[in-house]
Amino acid sequence: METKNEFIPKTAILPGSVLKLELDERGISQKDFADIIGMKTSNLNEYIRGRRSFTSDFSLKLEKALQIPADIWMNLQLNYKLAVARKQKLDIDEQAALNEIEEYDKIISIKDLIKRLNITAISYRSKLKELNLKLNLPPAAELQVCISHSNYFKKSDKLRTDPRMVLSWTLLAKYAVKDVHVGGEFKVSDKELIVRELCSVLHENEDTINKVRGILSNRGIKFAIVEKLDSTPIDGYSFFDNGTPCIVVTKRRDKIDNFAFVLLHEIAHVFLHLSKNQNEEFVTFEENERVDKYEREADKFASGSLIPEKLWREAPKVELNPYKIQQVYTSWARINNLNKWIVLGRIGHELNFWRFREDGTRSIN
């Protein structure tokens, strides 16, 4: 049975220092003690300073002179050698762990991951062990291949992202859903029902996050919120985890219209794209104009789900005046049981027109 030594002393106890302490306690000088055991003072000093190892012959001399059994001195010597060996191995392992962490840090932000995961370990070995335990990290070379072959960073030349930070965030997202449990089974045929349930909650905007989480869980979809990292203009992320669809959002803006659109955008990926290929993943970045076919499809799905296209075509025509638009569409939203900010958010997105007066009701409640 393998046993684990939990305690490795930082300082190995030198047998000679124990002997020196014993002589000092007894008031015996090194010169006098050397005469007692028939040894040169210089040789005795070498034992005390650790330049010579305690031998059985030397230990027997100490036993006779100090009445301290020879096996105690021999055990001190053995324990000292073991402690030194352990410390040397520890130093080698620490350097190896540091080297591995430095390789990872070229690809992902180790500092941010340690902070977000609340890893408080001091040694590099312990930090690396916890990172691997929580994130199930593949070798650094495999992570580099992941970036090289990922479509995350090939969707727009205008998009300014840091691949290192994006990959770090996706690792945090996957960690966040690892322990999320769902209450129901995912069925592609539930699409319309899920969309209706979500839209009702989003337009109502009361206890929104908890209600969204409950709806998705009941329909077999994992949901989590993971705050964005620096240089990661990410809104959402959708993927499958062992057969279970997952949606992670950053809630980068605490606005119901933004949250509603991102959520339905990821729902679109789950039903339109991921259900056909569970090995695919979609990271949704902030972009004014989508160049990727799947992202455009998800945008169209989200807009049409939140405000049906037939109803949107019947929306009133208003002059391009922010006050007038807000007044007319607030009234129109109320008549049609829609959230006014989801309506105004769509106008803002389509017209790139955002000069509406905030009134404290746009936040996610």
Type of residue at 319: E
Boundaries of every domain in the chain: 15-103, 176-311
Q: How far apart are CA 275 and CA 279, in angstroms?
A: 9
Task: Please answer whether residues 341 and 361 qualify as being in contact, where contact means their C-beta atoms are separated by less than 8 angstroms.
Answer: yes
The domain made up of 15-103 has a fold known as: 434 Repressor (Amino-terminal Domain) (1.10.260)
Task: Please answer whether residues 94 and 123 qualify as being in contact, where contact means their C-beta atoms are separated by less than 8 angstroms.
Answer: yes
pLDDT the model gives residue 83: 85
Q: What is the DSSP string of 107-163?
A: TS-HHHHHHHTT----SHHHHHHHHHHHH-PPPHHHHHHHHHH-STTSS-TT----H
Q: How far apart are CA 240 and CA 215, in angstroms?
A: 18
- CA distances 28 to 18, 21, 63, 193, 290, Å, are 14, 10, 15, 91, 87
Type of residue at 287: E
Within 8 A by CB and 6+ apart from 33, the residues are 23, 44, 65
pLDDT the model gives residue 178: 94
pLDDT the model gives residue 91: 81
CA angle 307, 313, 315 (to 5 degrees): 80
Nearest in space to 53 (alpha carbons), one of 16, 5, 20, 24: 16
Lookup: tokens for 52: 């010579």
Task: Please answer whether residues 164 and 113 qualify as being in contact, where contact means their C-beta atoms are separated by less than 8 angstroms.
Answer: no
Within 8 A by CB and 6+ apart from 142, the residues are none
pLDDT the model gives residue 92: 85
Q: How far apart are CA 169 and CA 291, in angstroms?
A: 23
Type of residue at 127: K
pTM: 0.75
Q: Which residues pair with 245 in a beta bridge?
A: 240
Q: How far apart are CA 311 and CA 300, in angstroms?
A: 15
Q: How far apart are CA 223 and CA 247, in angstroms?
A: 5
Lookup: tokens for 266: 């990821």
Residue recorded with tokens 């001190």: 76
Write the burial class of residue 75 (CB in 10 Å: 0-12 exposed, 13-18 middle, 19+ buried): middle
Sheet holding 244-249, edge to edge: 222-225, 244-249, 234-241, 282-285
- CA distances 123 to 17, 99, 101, 136, Å, are 29, 13, 11, 19
Nearest in space to 168 (alpha carbons), one of 241, 232, 247: 232
Q: Which letter does DSSP use for residue 274 in this model?
A: I
pLDDT the model gives residue 5: 39
pLDDT tens for each residue of the chain, 365 residues long: 333 433 344 457 899 999 999 999 999 999 999 999 999 999 999 999 999 999 999 999 999 999 999 999 999 999 999 888 877 777 888 888 998 999 999 999 999 999 999 999 989 999 999 999 999 998 888 887 766 666 655 454 445 678 889 999 999 999 999 999 999 999 999 999 999 999 999 999 999 999 999 999 999 999 999 999 988 889 999 999 999 999 999 998 899 999 999 999 999 999 999 999 999 999 998 875 566 889 999 999 999 999 999 999 999 988 888 889 999 999 999 999 999 999 999 998 888 777 889 898 999 99
Ramachandran angles phi, psi of 214, nearest 5°: -65, -45
